[in-house]
Amino acid sequence: MTTHLKVSICLPTCNRPELIVQCIDSCLAQTYANIEIVIGDDSKDERTRRLIAERYQHDSRVRYLKNEPSLGQARNVASLFARASGDRILLIHDDDYLVDNGIERLLMPWQTYPDLDVVFADQYEVDAKGHVDRAASDRLNADFYRTKQAEGLQIPPGRTGLIQMFPNNGWLADARLVKQISYEEQYGMSCDFVFGVKLCLAAKQVYYLNEYVSYYRKTAVSVSANTRGSMAAASVSAYAFLAGLKLDPALEPARRTALRRIVPIVVSVHAKNGAPLSGFRIALGHPFAYKHGFSLRLYYHLMLLARAALKAGPRRMGGAF
């Protein structure tokens, strides 16, 4: 394993000093030593700043910056990418963490495929206290098409992002490409999904490694969990992005796979938020997402939409056909 390549670990954080220590310590414990940890702190108080100063002030690998004022998710991550000085970039969120040889494992495919742009691997699912649930971990990765059979170069590479095979953190990619794509604030809560799609579409080669390299902490207090049922949900903006994306015809099956997962979620959100006409339009415009009428979920959602329409009345239907 060569060590001349510098890896920038980009770590956005916001109001989670009780979790970030485990994340930072996992980065500092990497078997691959040529790293920097670039931290962008969007916290509303000084707890994280004080913690970093007390615990890591003498470690030059830790580069901390308090965002004043706060930047928000997308701009915080984009600022980290811009500050990164490494040849490769790895993103890890403050409540997640890495296995000790995670970076070393992610670098290995470059030895065989030197033209790689992106490498990603599996994530353990852990609870709020960091306990690994192996069965849930296996299901998590299988749900996103990360299986032994899929290991290797992903052809075409753009398919990887579209079908959500690409994880939201714990990946490793060429720094120049990451900086070129970056995170975009306009996509709201789906900015990480949009980034993954655009990154894989722009990449020459994407590699999936069927090994666990990171820990994904599942909590009930994440921003995505708190917005899941609202019109600010990641699914809503992700659907709009997918529906409007111009793609090569060869990637249309991947778009359909993505929409098959996301359309029923978005229809449900519209029903819950008093926009039944938009919900009807989306549901009826993508019949394949409901197995062309052979899914009970379709009729349940149509019932929810009809109920929302009756409740809203003629002047508050929301959306148009």
Residue 262 confidence (pLDDT) above 90: yes
**Whether this model's pTM surpasses 0.85:** yes
| 3 vs 20: which has the higher pLDDT | 20
Average the pLDDT over 2-14 and give the result: 92
CA separation for the pair 120, 92 (Å, rounded) = 12
Record the tokens describing residue 223, joined without a space: 């921003």
pLDDT score, position 224: 52
- Show the CA angle centred on residue 216, arms to residues 215 and 222, nearest 5°: 145
pLDDT 10s digits, 70-83: 999 999 999 999 99
| 199 vs 228: which has the higher pLDDT | 199
**Residue 181 banded pLDDT, cuts 50, 70, 90:** very high
Which residues does 240 contact at the CB level (< 8 Å), separation at least 6? none
Residue 292 confidence (pLDDT) above 50: yes
Residue 227 confidence (pLDDT) above 80: no
pLDDT score, position 223: 53
Residue 228 confidence (pLDDT) above 70: no
- Show the CA angle centred on residue 187, arms to residues 180 and 219, nearest 5°: 105
**Residue 230 banded pLDDT, cuts 50, 70, 90:** confident
Residue 222 confidence (pLDDT) above 80: no
pLDDT score, position 320: 44
pLDDT score, position 233: 86
Q: Which residue has tokens 């852990």?
A: 126
pLDDT score, position 58: 93
pLDDT 10s digits, 140-170: 999 999 999 999 999 999 999 999 999 999 9
CA separation for the pair 187, 52 (Å, rounded) = 31
CA separation for the pair 84, 178 (Å, rounded) = 10
Give percent of the chain with pLDDT exceeding 90: 89
Average per-residue pLDDT for the chain: 93
Give percent of the chain with pLDDT exceeding 70: 93
| 32 vs 320: which has the higher pLDDT | 32
pLDDT score, position 321: 38
Report whether 208 contacts 165 (CB < 8 A): yes
CA distances from 77 to 47, 73, 178, 310 (A): 20, 6, 11, 42
Bridge partner list, 208: 120, 152
Domains of the chain with bracketed CATH = 7-225 (3.90.550.10), 229-312 (no CATH)
Closest CA to 282 of 229, 227, 239: 239
pLDDT 10s digits, 112-132: 999 999 999 999 999 988 899
**Residue 17 banded pLDDT, cuts 50, 70, 90:** very high
Residue 229 confidence (pLDDT) above 90: no
